[in-house]
Structure 1
């Protein structure tokens, strides 16, 4: 099978490596002026992995799209709309697009499949590939479970059968809304977890996990999804990799923020907080953890005061 991966960062380069490793013909696309792509072209490796010899590198978007059956998109969530507009004039009829990214458009509060279809056209075949797992662990041969979801079960099954291996065990996602929202919002909980680490309040992560999952379950239900999806692989199932792992950018951002230190890598949850605030008001859903993070990051309130107030100073019934 012919596969193109769009995006040559940590996750995109891994997906190209993984797809080639399980036997597919792979094109890895990146922008011509991308530092990541320049390094891969010069050295065939980055700080995480060495590309397999069979992987073709390309700066031509038209070539990369037209020569593959499956197009995996692994770029920043906030860049998706503008990128997808570039694909509108291509022949996408028989192709399957897989969004391998986690986020909600910050300005609109829309899920990424909604954004993608608005930009490229409603008839496009699109799925999401979500769940736990870090590049560093996969490269050590440590397996994990992930989930694929779409509006069409046949598309879901096709993606699962094409990309399953002993390294990644896939489940069929039955709730696209819940899986997309759950995957995006676990990054927000990761930021909160990192702040607790930075404030030496890590013992409160248990409370964060319990309350965070219920908070997102309420939102998923309000958006028309199945609230139990919050307890699946896309959200609660990804907590270990996001709230505890040293490899998590969102947890790392939260920890550095609480310590008033700079963090230079992409933490998608920062943008998702803004999107969740919009959805909270639009659907009248109480999201106290999200509100707390908004006060800390966007209103510059003291992280220790806000988080201690959230977890330690209120007496209420648990359920």
Structure 2
């Protein structure tokens, strides 16, 4: 299968590496002036992995789109709309779009598949999402994990799972696109909260954070029309180890360094996602105390310790 991976950051480069390893014809495409692309183009490696010669590297977006049967996109979620304004100039009929990023568009509250749906006819250009746990640092060492591919198109979903599954990544068929996308995006917000707890020395509270975080995101998924049990699957709860505990988690690290007053230089998708989910909670009347606490700290200047203390000292209520 001819696959073009658009975006060559940490996850995009790992996807290209993985799909080449599983026997596909892979092209990695990036912006010509992006440092991560320049590094891959000139050295064929980055901080996480090395590209074999079988992976083509290019900054020609038109070529990357035209050659591909499957177009995988791995960029910052808030740039997806402007990026698709460029991609949609080319003929996408018959191609499959796979989104390998986790977020909700802040300006509209739309899931990322809905953003793509503003540009393509999904009956001609089906859209899927690839979500779940895993870090490049583990995959390149041969440490396996499980992930999910979800789509409203059953045939496409089954095809992708069949083509992409290997001993390194076992893919499951997602059954709830709303839940898969919201759950995957929301786990980054919970990850920031976990990092804040680490920074304050309250790491033991992360168990409670996991339990309550899953409940509130389940409520949001249900309110949006999805299956609340998706929050307990690989898209959300199943990704907590990689997001709330891993030293490689950007969102956890962001939260920890925020508490310590240290600027975090890498992308933490949970920052803008907290704003998007906060707005969705307000719009749909869903109680999202953890999302609300993170949003207040990041965007309203609330004191971190005070916000987290209030979070865990709320009024008495039944657990379920």
Alignment TM-score > 0.5, same fold? yes
Helix, strand or coil for the counterpart of 1:265?
coil
Question: How far 1:191 moved relative to its partner?
Answer: 0.3
1:159-178 pair list within 5 angstroms: 159-178=160-179
CA distance in 1: counterparts of 2:314 and 2:84, whole angstroms: 46
Question: How far 1:15 moved relative to its partner?
Answer: 0.7
1:237 is matched with 238
2:290 is matched with 289
Question: How far 1:106 moved relative to its partner?
Answer: 1.1
CA distance in 2: counterparts of 1:57 and 1:113, whole angstroms: 26
Question: How far 1:315 moved relative to its partner?
Answer: 3.0
1:181 is matched with 182
Whether the 8 Å contact between 1:128 and 1:148 is mirrored in structure 2 is yes
1:195 aligns with 2:184: no
Give the TM-score normalised by the residue count of structure 2.
Answer: 0.98
Whether the 8 Å contact between 1:8 and 1:29 is mirrored in structure 2 is yes
1:67 aligns with 2:60: no
1:4-19 pair list within 5 angstroms: 4-19=4-19
1:107 is matched with 107
1:48 is matched with 48
CA distance in 2: counterparts of 1:314 and 1:307, whole angstroms: 14
- Number of equivalences: 319
Question: How far 1:227 moved relative to its partner?
Answer: 0.4
Whether the 8 Å contact between 1:277 and 1:291 is mirrored in structure 2 is yes
Question: How far 1:30 moved relative to its partner?
Answer: 0.5
1:36 is matched with 36
Helix, strand or coil for the counterpart of 1:23?
coil
Structure 2 unaligned runs (5+)? none
> Is 38-47 or 174-183 further displaced after alignment?
38-47
Question: How far 1:313 moved relative to its partner?
Answer: 5.4
Whether the 8 Å contact between 1:131 and 1:235 is mirrored in structure 2 is yes
Question: How far 1:172 moved relative to its partner?
Answer: 0.3
Whether the 8 Å contact between 1:99 and 1:129 is mirrored in structure 2 is yes
Structure 1 unaligned runs (5+)? none
Question: How far 1:122 moved relative to its partner?
Answer: 4.1
Question: How far 1:201 moved relative to its partner?
Answer: 0.3
2:2 is matched with 2
